[in-house]
């Protein structure tokens, strides 16, 4: 009897290990990376890229939005998103020392709060972050994105005044200026 119970437990454990290994090796939301380099400045973002799959992405919780307004979002999927700079910069108008940071957001219809945290190594970052670890908070206005973007994407763009970190998904884009 005990041998049978141990075999069942062992089998379930083996299935769980295989499932976790599969999810790590072949994630539903693949890993993405955005890089920017110019004049000795190097910026890097690592994140995971979920798909829309016909879902309501940004909106009210009561409407079933995947990313409800006013709620913590790890800004991607799987692990927390990280932002890294090799030089001191202005991020959204605030001074940021060179280093690697966790990036998370609180989206809303009219303004997003973008936060950088000293905690940058969280996998399955589903719980609320520790605000004591925050090093910077800034706000940015969402813009309408056309056409709609099926897969979450982060990139950098540069104009005559500064560099922008762009968060894009569905019909929404948020740009954070970097100087």
What is the domain partition of the chain in residue ranges?
Answer: 29-178
Instruction: Note the pLDDT tens digit of each residue in 44-91.
Output: 999 999 999 999 999 999 999 999 999 999 999 888 899 999 999 999
Instruction: Note the pLDDT tens digit of each residue in 85-131.
Output: 999 999 999 999 999 999 999 999 999 999 999 987 765 555 678 88
Predicted TM-score (pTM) of the model is: 0.83
* Residue 50, C-beta contacts closer than 8 angstroms, at least 6 positions apart: 28, 29, 76, 77, 151, 152
């Amino acid at each position: 009897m005990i041998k049978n119970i141990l075999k069942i437990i062992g089998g379930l454990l083996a299935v769980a290990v295989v499932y976790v290994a599969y999810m790590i090796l072949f994630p539903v939301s693949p890993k993405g990376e955005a890089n920017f380099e110019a004049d000795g400045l190097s910026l890097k973002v690592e994140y995971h890229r979920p798909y829309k799959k016909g879902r309501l992405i940004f909106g009210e919780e009561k409407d079933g939005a995947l990313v409800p307004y006013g709620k913590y979002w790890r800004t991607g999927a799987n692990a927390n998103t990280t932002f890294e700079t090799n030089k001191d910069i202005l991020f959204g108008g605030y001074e940021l020392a060179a280093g690697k940071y966790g990036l998370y957001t609180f989206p809303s219809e009219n303004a997003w709060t973008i936060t950088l945290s000293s905690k940058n190594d969280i996998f399955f970052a589903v719980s609320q972050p520790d605000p004591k670890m925050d090093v910077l908070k800034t706000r940015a206005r969402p813009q309408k994105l056309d056409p709609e973007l099926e897969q979450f994407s982060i990139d950098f763009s540069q104009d005559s005044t500064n560099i922008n970190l762009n968060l894009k998904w569905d019909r929404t884009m948020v740009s954070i200026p970097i100087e």
